[in-house]
């Protein structure tokens, strides 16, 4: 799907081939890749190009991804949805130079609002590796709650890692104070 969202500070837009270089630069960082399940480390330009080739505009709404742009800077991260066994899953990452400014809270909030409006999904799933307190803080702030623990393969670590499973229901999201 070709969707563009504007937030107070950010532009969320479809990924394009020209994103390969900054994606490779920011994902080739263990502090980023090591917190993600499906990103190998080291991460090469060819990995970014291969992934971008899968980002077709004909993908269903449940597979929508956004490149996060900070005007004046360019691409700083990604947020996107994919289909899991239970239902839709949201995932995200931000290049390390941009951490700690509330950027991902802003990007995830806008993406969730769009997703709940664009789909009939009653719930969105996510989670964090057990040591990822910054990401857990984002999810807790936005209304996600823990549903249990599991283990998930972290490609960058080459190991199964304890995972805090979370979910956000449509009703909690729609009832939030903005």
Residue among 2 and 115 whose Cβ is closer to ligand COA: 115
Rounded CA-CA distance 72/120 in Å is 35
| Enclosing H/E stretch for 29 | none
Cβ burial, residue 172 (10 Å; 0-12/13-18/19+): middle
Residue among 17 and 133 whose Cβ is closer to ligand COA: 133
Q: Does 36 bind ligand COA (CB under 6 A)?
A: yes
Residue among 12 and 57 whose Cβ is closer to ligand COA: 12
- Shortest Å distance, C-beta 58 to ligand COA: 27
Cβ burial, residue 175 (10 Å; 0-12/13-18/19+): exposed
Give the per-residue contact string, 79-118, with ligand COA (x = CB under 6 A; - = no): -------------xxx----xxxxxxx-------------
Q: Does 23 bind ligand COA (CB under 6 A)?
A: no
Q: Which of 86, 97, 118 is nearest to 25 (CA)?
A: 97
Q: Tell me the two tokens of residue 58.
A: 């004909």
Q: Does 149 bind ligand COA (CB under 6 A)?
A: no
3-state helix, strand, coil in the chain (%, to 5): 35, 30, 35
Give the per-residue contact string, 128-147, with ligand COA (x = CB under 6 A; - = no): x---xxxx-xx--x------
Residue among 20 and 33 whose Cβ is closer to ligand COA: 33
Tell me which residues touch ligand COA (CB under 6 A): 32, 35-36, 92-94, 99-105, 128, 132-135, 137-138, 141
């Amino acid at each position: 799907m070709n969707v563009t969202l504007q937030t107070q500070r950010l532009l969320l837009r479809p990924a394009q081939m020209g994103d390969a270089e900054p994606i490779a630069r920011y994902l080739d960082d263990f502090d980023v890749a090591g917190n993600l399940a499906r990103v190998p480390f080291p991460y090469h330009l060819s990995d970014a190009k291969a992934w971008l080739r899968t980002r077709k505009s004909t993908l269903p709404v449940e597979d929508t991804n956004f490149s996060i742009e900070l005007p004046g800077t360019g691409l700083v991260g990604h947020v996107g949805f994919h289909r899991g066994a239970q239902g839709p899953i949201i995932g995200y990452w931000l290049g390390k130079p941009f951490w700690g400014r509330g950027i991902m809270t802003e990007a995830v909030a806008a993406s969730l609002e769009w997703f709940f409006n664009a789909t009939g999904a009653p719930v969105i799933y996510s989670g964090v590796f057990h040591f990822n307190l910054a990401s857990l803080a984002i999810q807790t702030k936005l209304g996600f709650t823990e549903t249990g623990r599991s283990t998930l393969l972290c490609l960058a670590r080459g190991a199964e890692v304890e995972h805090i499973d979370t979910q956000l229901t449509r009703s909690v999201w729609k009832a939030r104070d903005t």
